[in-house]
Amino acid sequence: MPILRGAARAGFVSPLPFGMPEVIARPVLVVMSDLMFRSRIAQVTDRLGLPLRAAKSPEQLERHLANGAPALAIVDLECDSLDPSAAIHRLRALPGGAELPIVGYAGHTNADAIAAGRAAGAGVVLARSAFTAQLAAIIERIALAERARSGPATEAP
């Protein structure tokens, strides 16, 4: 049963795109060390009411995964603070990990990182520029799926 957050808890439901109320959903997990790019992703998740979690080390990744599978995992295939392929394998090993949407991205000239992301099991691998262009649409699809999964919003007891 979803729980309303923030102003919604006080009786005000702020409309989000698609006219849906803000609900607590599974987070979007980003595996990256680039704070500027994480900020860009946060702008989209905040607008859509999805929580965002970031892992830039194997320890942070494990800590976030201890709370269950995310709604979406975004992996920087050029991340230098942890092994992106190992992170993707770890995500796929979760219960339900085979169905988990994992999007990897890398610079368009880094063919090795792109191939490694595909081999590790990322469902979608994009050049950074294409990922940036499609970012909002990708997260909007996940937000719709999370709202459908959560059902109608209700107040917390």
| Overall average pLDDT of the 47-65 stretch | 94
Sign (positive/negative) of CA torsion 77, 44, 124, 127?
A: negative
Q: Is 16 helix (H, G, I), strand (E, B) or coil?
A: coil
Express each pLDDT in 99-114 by its tens digit: 999 999 999 999 999 9
Residue 80 pLDDT > 90:
yes
Residue 21 pLDDT > 80:
no
Whole-prediction pTM = 0.81
| Other C-beta atoms lying within 10 Å of the C-beta of residue 76 | 25
Residue 136 pLDDT > 90:
yes
* Cβ contacts of 123-130, under 8 Å, gap ≥ 24: 125/77, 130/105
Residue 85 pLDDT > 60:
yes
Q: Which domains does the chain have, with CATH numbers?
A: 25-148 (3.40.50.2300)
Q: What percent of the chain has pLDDT over 90?
A: 69
Express each pLDDT in 27-52 by its tens digit: 999 999 998 999 999 999 999 989 99
| Other C-beta atoms lying within 10 Å of the C-beta of residue 106 | 24
Which of 39-43, 121-125, 144-148 shows the lowest mean pLDDT across its residues? 144-148
Residue 156 pLDDT > 90:
no
Q: For residue 77, which of 23, 140, 130, 27 has the smallest C-alpha distance?
A: 130
Which pairing describes strands 28-31 and 102-106: parallel, antiparallel, or unpaired? unpaired
